[in-house]
């Protein structure tokens, strides 16, 4: 029994059986730094998105600059796409390490391997579900945002542990500067350059030390860089206008939709077609001065303002449009509130996580925060929130509540 198991184990390759010059400490370190940078961008921009939707008093976001969320979330999804080639490259460069024996040498080694396992599993999960989400393939049976948020802490924590453990190898790998000749790794096992090569002789004289090996490493790193930059260029056009003509892989065309503007949630999808087209619709405005009902004509008779603002979707696309309507601060005043009172917004939607939102005081006070009635000089299309929707600067699209039914000045309903 024991000898059968040993025979099977003997057939499993060892790290030194993987002879590609790519399994090299210097390659692993460089791809690791690129991938790590992408993870830091993802974590920070992801937290920004989370804090917009789950505000904390000690780090409030304001309406200025108006373009900020568009940039941070555009960057988030762009870095997310860039992770696909980077993750594949990193896994390819290090996979011989999977075959290290003994599998575990002690509790420290065991912990280190477990943290790497967690890192790989969590990152693969995050990248796969993130990409599916932005292509609107909601095939997973869980609430994306909550699971994605929780996993992001696991990914970030595991990256910190991994970098801490591997720091000496990373420093060694990067210390070579542009020199990728000679051997830095045997069979995926990190060997300090000029240090002792364990079991089996000098590596620099083998295929890993040749000029050909250096060319292979350079070629691999070049291919990873080109693939990453190309993927970024082909997708970034969904939020960055200059790249729109080459946005061949972008999940969304931000101009494809009614009135030349994309829509994530349609009126039909939100189940509001009947209520939103009801000629008897009137906004219920509640505040310290009492409650009033304002029809669309009443709202159009109030002071109208225009604001050129982006609609910036959590899924990474964005587009600028000219919105027209009533300033929310004017409505707050009409309800007997102050122009910087927070306002709670309720939609005609009966269900859905985004049927309500809160406008903090700083947003209400901003001159460009509107209860929009018009888009680019026309009445709002039904899918853009007719009869009335919120539009404010520097705010995730999911908080720009559509088909507004009720505004409560002073906070919660």
Residues near ligand HEM, by CB under 6 A? 39, 42-43, 46-47, 49-50, 53, 76-77, 80-81, 83, 123, 126-127, 130-131, 133-134, 145, 148-149, 152, 155-156, 314-315
What is the 3 state secondary structure string of 209-273? Answer: HCHHHHHHHHHHHHHHHHHHHHHHHHHHHHCCHHHHHHCCCCCCCCCCCHHHCCCCCCHHHHCCH
User: Which residue lies nearer to ligand HEM by CB, 101 or 140?
Assistant: 140
User: Which residue lies nearer to ligand HEM by CB, 250 or 285?
Assistant: 250
- Beta pairing class for 343-347 and 356-359: antiparallel
Distances (CA, A) of 59 to 48, 52, 153, 157: 10, 10, 19, 22
User: Which residue lies nearer to ligand HEM by CB, 51 or 350?
Assistant: 51
Q: At what angle do helices 68-94 and 107-134 cross, to 10 degrees?
A: 130
Shortest Cβ 141–ligand HEM spacing (Å): 16
**Alpha carbons 72 and 66: distance in angstroms, whole number:** 12
The neighbour count for residue 376, using CB atoms within 10 Å, is 14
**Alpha carbons 237 and 244: distance in angstroms, whole number:** 4
Shortest Cβ 393–ligand HEM spacing (Å): 18
Three-class SS state of 103? coil
Long-range contacts of 224-228 (CB under 8 A, 24+ apart): 224/31, 224/34, 224/85, 224/86, 224/89, 225/34, 227/85, 228/34, 228/82, 228/85, 228/86
Shortest Cβ 48–ligand HEM spacing (Å): 8
User: Which residue lies nearer to ligand HEM by CB, 47 or 197?
Assistant: 47
User: Which residue lies nearer to ligand HEM by CB, 20 or 238?
Assistant: 238
Tokens of 147: 């699971």
Shortest Cβ 7–ligand HEM spacing (Å): 40
Closest by Cα among 90, 117, 98 to 34: 90
Closest by Cα among 326, 321, 314 to 384: 321
User: Which residue lies nearer to ligand HEM by CB, 315 or 341?
Assistant: 315
User: Which residue lies nearer to ligand HEM by CB, 42 or 370?
Assistant: 42
Shortest Cβ 232–ligand HEM spacing (Å): 11
Distances (CA, A) of 46 to 24, 56, 294, 315: 32, 15, 38, 11
User: Which residue lies nearer to ligand HEM by CB, 27 or 42?
Assistant: 42
DSSP 411: B
User: Which residue lies nearer to ligand HEM by CB, 241 or 265?
Assistant: 265
């Amino acid at each position: 029994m024991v000898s059968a198991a040993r025979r099977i184990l003997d057939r499993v390759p060892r790290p030194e059986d993987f002879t590609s010059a790519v399994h090299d400490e210097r390659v692993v370190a460089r791809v690791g730094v690129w991938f790590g940078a992408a993870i830091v961008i993802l974590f920070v921009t992801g937290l920004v998105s989370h804090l917009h939707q789950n505000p904390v008093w000690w780090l409030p976001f304001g309406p200025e600059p108006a373009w900020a969320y568009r940039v941070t979330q555009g960057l988030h999804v762009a870095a997310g796409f860039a992770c696909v080639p980077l993750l594949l490259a990193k896994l390819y460069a290090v996979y011989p390490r999977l075959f290290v024996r003994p599998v575990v040498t002690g509790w420290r080694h065991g912990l280190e391997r477990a943290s790497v396992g967690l890192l790989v599993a969590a990152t693969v999960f995050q990248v796969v579900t993130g990409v599916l989400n932005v292509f609107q393939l909601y095939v997973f049976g869980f609430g994306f945002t909550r699971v994605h948020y929780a996993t992001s802490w696991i990914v970030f924590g595991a990256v910190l542990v991994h970098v801490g453990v591997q720091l000496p190898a990373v420093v060694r790998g990067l210390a070579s500067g542009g020199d990728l000749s000679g051997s830095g790794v045997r069979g995926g096992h990190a060997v300090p350059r000029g240090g002792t090569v364990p079991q089996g002789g000098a590596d620099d004289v083998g295929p890993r030390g040749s000029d050909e090996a250096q060319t292979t490493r350079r070629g691999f790193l070049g291919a990873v860089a080109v693939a990453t930059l190309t993927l970024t260029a082909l997708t970034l056009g969904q939020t960055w206008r200059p790249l729109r003509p080459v946005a061949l892989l972008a999940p969304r065309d931000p101009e494809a939709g009614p009135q030349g503007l994309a829509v994530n949630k349609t009126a039909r999808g939100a189940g509001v077609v009947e209520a939103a087209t009801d000629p008897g619709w009137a906004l219920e405005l509640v505040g310290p001065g009492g409650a009033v009902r304002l029809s669309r004509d009443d709202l159009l008779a109030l002071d109208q303002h225009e604001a050129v603002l982006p609609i910036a979707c959590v899924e990474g696309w964005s587009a600028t449009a000219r919105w027209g309507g009533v300033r929310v601060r004017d409505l707050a005043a009409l309800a007997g509130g102050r122009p910087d009172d927070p306002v709670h917004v309720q939609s005609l939607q009966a269900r859905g996580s985004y049927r309500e939102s809160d406008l903090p005081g700083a947003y209400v006070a901003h001159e460009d925060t509107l209860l929009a009635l018009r888009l680019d000089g026309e009445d709002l299309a039904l899918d853009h929130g007719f009869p009335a929707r919120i539009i404010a600067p520097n705010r995730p699209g999911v908080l720009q509540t559509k088909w507004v039914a009720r505004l409560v000045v002073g906070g919660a309903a």
